[in-house]
Amino acid sequence: MAELIVLVFLILLLNLVDSIFILRYHEHLYGAVRWEKRKFVLRFTIIVLSATVVISAIPAMILWGMTLFSSFWMGAYHGGKKNKVLFQVVLISLAVLSFILSFVIAIAFFKDDIAVGIFTLLASHVIFGVMVEVTRHFQQSILVDLPGKMWLVLFSIPVASLICVPAFSRMIALNEGAASGIGRNQVIILFAVFFINIMVFYLFGKFSELLSTRIDAAILQQQIEMQEKYYLAIEENHAKVRLLQHDMRNQINAITTMFEENQMENLGQYLKEIGGQVNQIEKVIVTGNAPIDTILNIKISELIGCGIKVHTNVLLPKGIKIDFREAATLFGNLLDNVMDECKRLPKEKQEAKIQLSYINHIMFIRISNPMAVAEKQFPLKSEKPDSELHGFGMKSVQQVVEQFNGTIKLTAQDYLFQISIVLYDV
């Protein structure tokens, strides 16, 4: 009985030590916990005690068992589920590898089973702690979610390690000449697998950079296209104005003649025709802020061109500190989402409301449109086929909002989608 109590106490102590390294690992990747401190401490305590009970009953789960149980507090951190699964499996793989490597070294140097057991128990935790700390130098905090294909490539590395390395260890254990058969080659192979698992963090960073580059290129191309459309639209409107000015003298003479001859019916019809020509010159939003005016006019023209009714209420002064990239990211993505959603609706329900206002260096943005469904769950997911270049619109919007220390609120219920954004010091 005394031996059992000592064993349980030792396992509890080791679990607490492992938990410290695991918490540092999680906080480095995902930031501080979002739960209330009391709630997190309570769940943490329950998980550690539960892991201690299970591991005491199944000693083979020492180290990797606590790592597995730590998955139950992952909800306390921000971050995508796919990333959490990936890096948690890597953590479990590191724990299993640490245990197997310690065992391999132990049976190579010790003949007594007790010595092998004690060395494996202590050395595995030391190796695990060192490896977890090493990983913190290969990866910064997680900011992006990789597309499924990229994620699957990385996920296959720790999964393959969890399958192959235990099989390799069992093959060694069954070797008749175990003491002589275990040597440098086996240890080198295990260290190589360690290195490959840690490289998951490096590869994740590279994949993220590649994805960010592609997204930046797509956004830049979008900006170029928007500028080109805007300048073409302005030139077209100017051409129409010049044409009207050229014909203005003849039109005034014609109106004067019809009036003097009391041809009121012809005069009314003629004035309607002139009014139609004037209406062909698109009304543009002019706030004096070129980036905002450019994007809004392009996107509103596209919405109207698709048959979507657009209601605007834009009251902005000159001198707002938003550059072209920020305006394209904000209004381009938001109004693209409006267009995508409206296209799923019958023609008579396709409409959008755009409200922009400004007071005391604070900019208020509110955009709303009907939805095809009663409500939606957040976070919203892209339904476009090229998913690796789509689905990042709202994330890009969020980044711009954070640059201005702003806030963003989404509601999607009662068949109405609405986004409200507040930007400070603009």
Q: What CATH number is given to the structural domain containing 375? A: 3.30.565.10
Domain count, the chain: 2
Residue 425 has pLDDT above 70, yes or no: yes
In the prediction, which pLDDT does 48 show? Answer: 92
In the prediction, which pLDDT does 50 show? Answer: 92
Residue 235 resides in a domain: no
pLDDT bucket at 138, cuts 50 / 70 / 90: low
- Mean pLDDT over residues 130-154, rounded? 75
174 compared with 254, residue with greater pLDDT: 254
Same domain for 304 and 204, yes or no, is no
Side-by-side strand order, sheet with 309-314: 309-314, 351-359, 362-370, 416-424, 407-413
DSSP class of 344: T
Q: Round to whole Å and give the CA distance between 265 and 250.
A: 19
Same domain for 169 and 61, yes or no, is yes
Residue 358 has pLDDT above 90, yes or no: yes
Same domain for 75 and 201, yes or no, is yes
Least confidently predicted of 133-137, 167-171, 190-194, 390-394: 390-394
Q: Which residue has the tokens 């060395």?
A: 119
Same domain for 45 and 194, yes or no, is yes
pTM given for the model: 0.57
Name the domain boundary from 215, 247, 270. 215
Name the domain boundary from 215, 244, 274. 215
Residue 57 has pLDDT above 90, yes or no: no
Same domain for 176 and 305, yes or no, is no
Residue 47 resides in a domain: yes
Same domain for 181 and 313, yes or no, is no
Least confidently predicted of 133-137, 237-241, 332-336: 237-241
Residue 383 has pLDDT above 60, yes or no: no
- Neighbouring C-beta atoms of residue 224, cutoff 10 Å: 10
Residue 262 resides in a domain: no
Same domain for 199 and 303, yes or no, is no
Write down the H helix ranges in 314-363: 324-327, 333-342
Q: Averaging pLDDT over each range in 138-142, 244-248, 286-290, which range is the top one?
A: 286-290
Same domain for 17 and 164, yes or no, is yes
Residue 274 resides in a domain: no
User: What is the extent of the structural domain holding 407?
Assistant: 287-426
Residue 231 resides in a domain: no
- Mean pLDDT over residues 271-290, rounded? 66
Cα dihedral across residues 198, 199, 200, 204: positive or negative: positive
Residue 392 resides in a domain: yes
pLDDT bucket at 390, cuts 50 / 70 / 90: very low
Name the domain boundary from 169, 199, 215. 215
pLDDT bucket at 183, cuts 50 / 70 / 90: low
Average pLDDT, the chain: 80
Residue 228 resides in a domain: no
In the prediction, which pLDDT does 389 show? Answer: 42
In the prediction, which pLDDT does 415 show? Answer: 87
Q: Round to whole Å and give the CA distance between 400 and 408.
A: 10
Residue 249 resides in a domain: no
DSSP class of 376: -
Same domain for 205 and 296, yes or no, is no
Q: Which residue has the tokens 């789960």?
A: 61
Same domain for 157 and 54, yes or no, is yes
Cα–Cα distance list, 381 to 14, 241, 421 (Å): 41, 44, 20
- CB contact set of 383 (below 8 Å; sequence gap of 6+): 340
Same domain for 52 and 134, yes or no, is yes
pLDDT bucket at 385, cuts 50 / 70 / 90: very low
Residue 8 has pLDDT above 80, yes or no: yes
- CB contact set of 101 (below 8 Å; sequence gap of 6+): 124, 127, 187, 190, 191, 194
The predicted-structure confidence for 257-276, as pLDDT tens digits, reads as follows 777 777 777 777 767 776 65
In the prediction, which pLDDT does 233 show? Answer: 64
Q: Round to whole Å and give the CA distance between 408 and 397.
A: 9
Beta strand 351-359 with 309-314 is parallel
pLDDT bucket at 118, cuts 50 / 70 / 90: confident
- Mean pLDDT over residues 44-63, rounded? 89
Same domain for 38 and 177, yes or no, is yes
Q: Round to whole Å and give the CA distance between 327 and 396.
A: 11
